[in-house]
Structure 1
């Protein structure tokens, strides 16, 4: 469309709008229909005021319904006025079609059609979670439905197509941009719903490992969102073949500038494929101890016992030493070191220690993983032992189970009269009749000093 044709199209549309307004203000059945529509709208509003308390009481009594059904009920109650208006409009329109000429109920039929369209659009728009995107889709569909009902689609489309920018052989019009935006929003919503459905189906499949579930879910997400973006760009009219060389050059530049990001992405794929870690595993990486919460494309989410969530890059799990406490199984052995006095019977000490450990709740007490206690050495002040026991739930924490076992040992040793010694030093003077000079005095209580008679 030439530049001179744009003002002409605008004036034509404005003339049609003025004609519609003039017809609406001219006395006759058009005014009567507008008055009936306003009366039906007021009646719908009054019905909402009268029935809202009853609907609210009925909705509160549906507490046992599933969540999705309750969400639908909330959306229905929010649009109860529009529902009343649609029902009244269609009832009036059908009655007038039988009682009078069809032309005398045309505007009422248009209002009823618009009400149904707005109602359907309002429900479907709830599928779009992003608020800004949802508003864009809602208003776009409302405008389109209104134009369809008023038979103005062709005129408006011709005007929007005339507002264009020609770049070589490409004709970029405002109509194409709007179509691409609406199509992109719809495709992105469908891609999100498809990803959620695929992810849910994969999680319910017990034959697929958790890491492969995450990998396949990410692959489906990338494919669906990539197709949505590709179709949206094609809807504008761009020829993607011309961008092949440019995209290759940009890819090389991005590869050098985003080496860490690419490394984390590749490391994430390797982690998902070799299944070295998976959601729910208990791991130790450096000073971080916790369980895997989620596997991302760039990082792994690790939640510790104190509630902190660490986002650790995937590359660290490839290049660093990682302790996976539950890689092949969830059984973990813990060692505790303690000592008792030399006057205590070692056989009795071992028996009491094992029995006390078995009384702790999370400790496995039977089979090959029963607690054992061994002497590991004779120390300066005590006989040294190592107590070994197994647990099957490392996600419950390691420090707390060690503390509970130590408390059980303390109570058991105290009840059995077994002592837990600590280092002591004695200062003895072998010849008490001789005076002790300042040079012979010790500097602290931790030295064992003896005086021999042959030194004097």
Structure 2
């Protein structure tokens, strides 16, 4: 019985609103047939064509002028780009308001009433476009833009109450909770605007935190993440409360959903917690050079779920934070930037080992990236089957420049130095002898 009455009430509301809107449409149509309304529409059309002509003539020149503004901040250039994309609308708003002002000065206000409404609508739509550019998400931006444009249009035309009553009539109920189309529209607009404001605040705060050299890189990332979570949570909560939705009714449902998500998102939660631990203990920070298994590179960014590691060949690995906590990670620049590298080589037994060590150290010093403040050292590590084996150790401070290439440069320096000083590097040699069928050596005749 309740459902029948609710259905009849909805039908009555829709019927009455439809009759009202139909009557207003007939009134509007009849008013458009009046001479002074028709010529105002004609003037608006002429102004629109003039704005389009100005856009065609001045648009390329303004674009060229924008190309010369190299030293301007990015936010100012973005405003210019958006304004350039809306030049026709801007010209139309300026021209139509000039026409309205002129007509109000020389004739009766009723002769420019329609033009005033058109100018107000065009201005409101243009302001909505500029305001919604703060929203980063394309889908959310379009939703807020269309919703705000529809609202200001209804408000300027004076039919907000009728439209709100129609949207509120289209509703469904879940127990004590009632969700209507009006509530959904209001929610999209309000929450979208609050999220856009939260994003603006977080971006501004993040830029200031990132530019503060007194804060360590890991703490900068942690502060930025905390600020983002706090402001976005406040924006969402404030938006829901502004709509009048009681969150206590969702407590049981959210608890059940939370239990299910807890089992399904164990890895995700583990990575999130591991990311917080990494940021707090500062074991890994952006810019560090690490090696994890076969992956060698430097940390580009630390995310909430993974760390971005860029290798020398340009590949970007997204390593889960849990692997950085539980796995064995070599941080080449954890406490300082000094990195020691070892290379092995051998010389023949006929070469003086004292001279070999001295020449090897001089060869390593001649390489550009090898530190002279921490001089290289060379030691004998064993006597092999055909060579005396050595280890050459040297230090660098720029592991991001690569390890394989510096080792290769040191090997080349050793080769050149040994060649100039007649130091021979042994290599395996084999002697092949040919025997005849009787087991005698074949003399080749």
TM-score scaled by length of structure 2: 0.91
Q: Secondary structure at the match of 2:345?
A: strand
* Corresponding residue for residue 328 of structure 1: 335
Aligned length: 431
Deviations 1:107-149, CA, capped at 9 Å, x for gaps:
1111221222122222222222322222222222221221222
* Corresponding residue for residue 19 of structure 1: 27
Contact kept, 8 Å, 2:13 with 2:166, in 1: the verdict is no
Shift of 1:53: 4.0
Cα RMSD, aligned residues only: 2.3
Q: Does 1:81 align with 2:88?
A: yes
Largest Rg, 1 or 2: 1
Query: Structure 2: how far apart are the matches of 1:62 and 1:364?
Result: 44
Q: Secondary structure at the match of 2:285?
A: coil
Query: Structure 2: how far apart are the matches of 1:55 and 1:314?
Result: 48
Tell me whether 417-426 or 217-226 shows the greater mean CA deviation: 417-426
Query: Structure 2: how far apart are the matches of 1:265 and 1:76?
Result: 41
Query: Structure 1: how far apart are the matches of 2:319 and 2:371?
Result: 33
Partner residue of 1:238 out of 232, 238, 245: 245
* Corresponding residue for residue 347 of structure 1: 354
Deviations 1:199-257, CA, capped at 9 Å, x for gaps:
21211122221111111211111222222333344445432112223322332232223
Partner residue of 1:390 out of 385, 388, 395: 395
What is the 5 A alignment of 1:371-382? 371-382=376-387
Tell me whether 118-127 or 410-419 shows the greater mean CA deviation: 118-127
Partner residue of 1:277 out of 273, 279, 284: 284
* Corresponding residue for residue 131 of structure 2: 124
Partner residue of 2:171 out of 148, 154, 164: 164
Deviations 1:8-35, CA, capped at 9 Å, x for gaps:
11221221122112111133x2222222
Contact kept, 8 Å, 1:340 with 1:382, in 2: the verdict is yes
Shift of 1:63: 4.3
Deviations 1:327-369, CA, capped at 9 Å, x for gaps:
0001000111111112212221111111111111111012xx1
Partner residue of 1:414 out of 398, 404, 419: 419
Contact kept, 8 Å, 1:195 with 1:217, in 2: the verdict is yes
* Corresponding residue for residue 34 of structure 1: 41
Contact kept, 8 Å, 1:83 with 1:119, in 2: the verdict is yes
Query: Structure 2: how far apart are the matches of 1:318 and 1:63?
Result: 44
Q: Does 1:106 align with 2:106?
A: no
Shift of 1:424: 4.4
Partner residue of 1:308 out of 291, 312, 315: 315
* Corresponding residue for residue 306 of structure 2: 299
* Corresponding residue for residue 404 of structure 1: 409
Q: Secondary structure at the match of 2:133?
A: helix
Shift of 1:151: 1.6
Deviations 1:61-112, CA, capped at 9 Å, x for gaps:
4345444333322222222222221122111211222222222211111122
Gapped regions of structure 1 (runs ≥ 5): 429-434, 442-456
Shift of 1:437: 6.6
Gapped regions of structure 2 (runs ≥ 5): 1-5
Contact kept, 8 Å, 1:215 with 1:272, in 2: the verdict is yes
Partner residue of 1:154 out of 140, 155, 161: 161
